[in-house]
């Protein structure tokens, strides 16, 4: 919970700390629906040790103090479903339905170019985009996890890497066993990297057999990591499953024992009432990807009904190849607006709920809610500052409403991970990253755009 200094401890002497961030507004997320004014967050060794009014901050002496008089401070945003390296395929095949998009464009392009260097470069580019939009953590699903980890660590971002499993060969692996072996090997090699966590990522029910799902379920329990998969993204997927298995995909997963609180299901556009209750009963999380679902004409997920049943709903962008932005401000706004339009209820999915989906709900899905997702004493200092002064977004009557319905990623001014500044946007000029030069990102873009140009739809 958010604690005032006087309830935290009695301070007799000046306490030396690393960083104090003083903000006009602070939205802690936990407790919910709270907005604090003129407060400071006190950080030592990457951890929040106090939250108190500015008037009480004289008890602390900081090596650095950042004063944000026109800003709201929020937890770092969490992108609960993406394929980061596919940023290099942004706009490669637009205005195409999902399966033709995959089979005729994306998979052939991947077969031609995907490699360790592709994944490292694409993930680095994605991390730069995400950091500049206030995202501090992403839940990934792609090949070559060691290369993805290299990029995330270079940028200083937190990443949950999905250890992809398919039945068919790719440049990365030959069959399900090979995918699993390479994934678990990568996990072992990265076990001491504090910014990196893992899940098994069987791609989808239409690309993974029952035997492989069962094996992953066993390994997930043994290794104490979650499962991240696509589910009920399109009606065609459901029809195919009924023809091949005599049941809908979610029924297959339920029969295999794959529904539990460690499972994050991406999309879930087409669920009936019984299936919604099934997910709620098993404590599964949903990664709602409204922009991608619309762009691929997959449909509109009824998240109002999911929320009523108490399902934990986080937000994801999907990959930049199918979105085409890794922009959580856009996802928050669209999630709230679509829920209202679909349900006919203007009170459905409030701004506070949308912001929670982009923060604490994502942390819960990744089993990281004890560390990130809210601004609380004892949690890691993953923080995003948003400046609310541009003429185009004034006046501001409700700060949280403004964050969801008015502000955009271009208003992000500072992003911290573990209390370290990873991105900031000066008043003049482009945003600056602490751990990558613009020239490196430019070289990556030029290199891969040339190689992928022949696959443009």
CATH superfamily to which 77-365 belongs: Metal-dependent hydrolases (3.20.20.140)
Q: How confident is the model at residue 21, as a pLDDT?
A: 98
How do residues 279-334 score in pLDDT, each as one tens digit? 999 999 999 999 999 999 999 999 999 999 999 999 999 999 999 999 999 999 99
Return all residues near 147 (Cβ < 8 A) that are at least 6 apart. 85, 116, 117, 119, 120, 123
What is the pLDDT, as a whole number, of residue 61? 96
Q: Break the chain into its structural domains and give their ranges.
A: 5-75+378-425, 77-365
Mean pLDDT of 331-355: 97
- pLDDT-based confidence at 159, cuts 50/70/90? very high
Give 363-411 pLDDT, tens digit per residue: 999 999 999 999 999 999 999 999 999 999 999 999 999 999 999 999 9
Q: Does pLDDT of 275 surpass 90?
A: yes
Cα 244 to its chain centre, rounded Å, is 33
Mean pLDDT of the chain, nearest integer: 95
Share of the chain above pLDDT 90, in %: 92
The answer to whether the beta carbons of residues 402 and 393 sit under 8 Å apart is: yes
Mean per-residue pLDDT for 93-111?
Answer: 89
Cα gap 123→89, rounded to integer Å = 12
User: Which pLDDT score is estimated for 455?
Assistant: 82
Task: Out of 36-40, 56-60, 141-145, 222-226, pick the least confident.
Answer: 56-60
pLDDT in tens, 160-205: 999 999 999 999 999 999 999 999 999 999 999 999 999 999 999 9
Q: What is the pLDDT of residue 12?
A: 57
Per-residue confidence at 36, pLDDT binned at 50, 70, 90? Answer: very high
What superfamily would CATH give domain 5-75+378-425? Answer: Urease, subunit C, domain 1 (2.30.40.10)
Structure tokens at 52: 């108190």
Predicted confidence at residue 88, as pLDDT, reads 97
Query: Is the model's pLDDT at 143 over the cut of 60?
Result: yes
**What does the block give as tokens for 193?**
């990297």
| Confidence check: pLDDT of 250 > 90 | yes
pTM, full prediction: 0.96
Confidence of residue 98 (pLDDT cuts 50, 70, 90): confident
- In 250-398 the beta strands, taken as DSSP E runs, fall at 263-267, 285-288, 312-315, 383-387
**Residue 81 contacts residue 301 (beta carbons within 8 Å):** no
| pLDDT at residue number 5 | 36
Distance, CA of 456 to CA of 161 (rounded, Å): 28
The answer for residues whose C-beta is within 8 angstroms of residue 339's C-beta and 6 or more apart is: 303, 304, 348, 349
Q: Find the range with the poorest average confidence among 107-111, 127-131, 289-293.
A: 107-111
Summarize pLDDT for 210-223 with one digit per residue, the tens: 999 999 999 999 99
Tell me how far CA of residue 43 lies from CA of 20, 293, 418, in angstroms: 6, 39, 9
Q: What is the pLDDT of residues 48-78, one digit of tens each?
A: 999 999 999 999 999 999 999 999 999 999 9
φ and ψ at residue 161, rounded to 5 degrees: -95, 120
User: Are the C-beta atoms of residues 28 and 375 closer than 8 Å to each other?
Assistant: yes
Q: What is the DSSP track for 429-456?
A: SS-EESS--HHHHHHHHHHHHHHHGGG-
CB proximity list for 89: less than 8 A, separation 6 or greater: 106, 109, 319, 320, 321, 452
d(CA 269, CA 234): 7
Which residues lie below 8 Å from residue 377, measured CB to CB, with a gap of 6+?
1, 2, 3, 8, 48, 49, 50, 51
2 band by pLDDT with thresholds 50, 70 and 90: very low
């Amino acid at each position: 919970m958010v604690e005032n200094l006087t309830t935290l401890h009695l301070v007799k002497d000046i306490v030396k700390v690393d960083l104090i961030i003083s903000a006009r507004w602070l939205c802690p997320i936990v407790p919910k629906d709270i907005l604090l004014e003129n407060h400071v967050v006190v950080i030592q060794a990457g951890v929040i040790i106090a939250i108190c009014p500015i008037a009480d901050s004289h008890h602390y002496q900081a090596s650095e103090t950042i004063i944000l008089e026109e800003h709201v401070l929020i937890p770092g945003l969490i992108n609960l479903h993406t394929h980061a390296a596919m940023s290099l395929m942004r706009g490669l095949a637009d205005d195409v339905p999902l399966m033709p998009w995959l089979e005729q464009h994306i998979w052939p392009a991947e077969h031609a170019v995907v490699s360790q260097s592709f994944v490292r470069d694409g993930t680095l580019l994605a991390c730069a985009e995400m950091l500049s939009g206030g995202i501090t953590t992403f839940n990934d699903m792609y090949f070559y996890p060691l290369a993805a980890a290299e990029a995330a660590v270079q940028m200083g971002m937190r990443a949950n890497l999905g250890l992809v499993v398919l039945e068919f060969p790719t440049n990365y692996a030959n069959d399900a066993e090979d995918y699993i072996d390479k994934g678990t090997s990568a996990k072992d090699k990265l076990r001491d990297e504090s910014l990196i966590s893992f899940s098994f990522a069987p791609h989808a029910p239409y690309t993974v057999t029952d035997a492989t799902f069962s094996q992953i379920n066993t390994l997930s329990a043994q290794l104490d990591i979650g499962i991240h998969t696509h589910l009920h993204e399109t009606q065609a997927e459901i029809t195919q499953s009924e023809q091949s298995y005599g049941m809908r995909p979610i029924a297959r997963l339920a029969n295999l024992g794959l529904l539990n609180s460690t499972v994050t299901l991406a999309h879930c556009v087409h669920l009936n009432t019984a299936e919604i209750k099934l997910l709620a009963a098993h404590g599964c999380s949903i990664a709602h990807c409204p922009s991608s679902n619309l762009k691929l004409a997959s449909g509109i997920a009824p998240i109002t009904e999911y929320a009523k049943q108490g399902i934990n709903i986080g937000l994801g962008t999907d990959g930049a190849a199918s979105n085409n932005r890794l922009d959580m401000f856009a996802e928050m706004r669209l999630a709230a607006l679509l829920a209202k339009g679909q349900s006919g209820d203007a009170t459905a999915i409030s701004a506070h709920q949308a912001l929670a989906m982009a923060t604490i709900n994502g942390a819960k899905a990744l089993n990281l809610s004890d560390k990130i997702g809210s601004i609380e004493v004892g949690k890691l200092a993953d923080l995003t500052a948003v400046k609310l002064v541009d003429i185009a977004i004034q006046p501001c009557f409700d700060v949280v409403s403004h964050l969801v319905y008015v502000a955009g990623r271009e208003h992000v001014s500072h992003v911290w991970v573990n209390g370290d500044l990873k991105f900031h946007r000066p008043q003049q000029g482009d945003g600056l990253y602490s751990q990558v030069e613009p020239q490196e990102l430019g070289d990556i873009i030029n290199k891969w755009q040339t190689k992928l140009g022949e696959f443009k739809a």
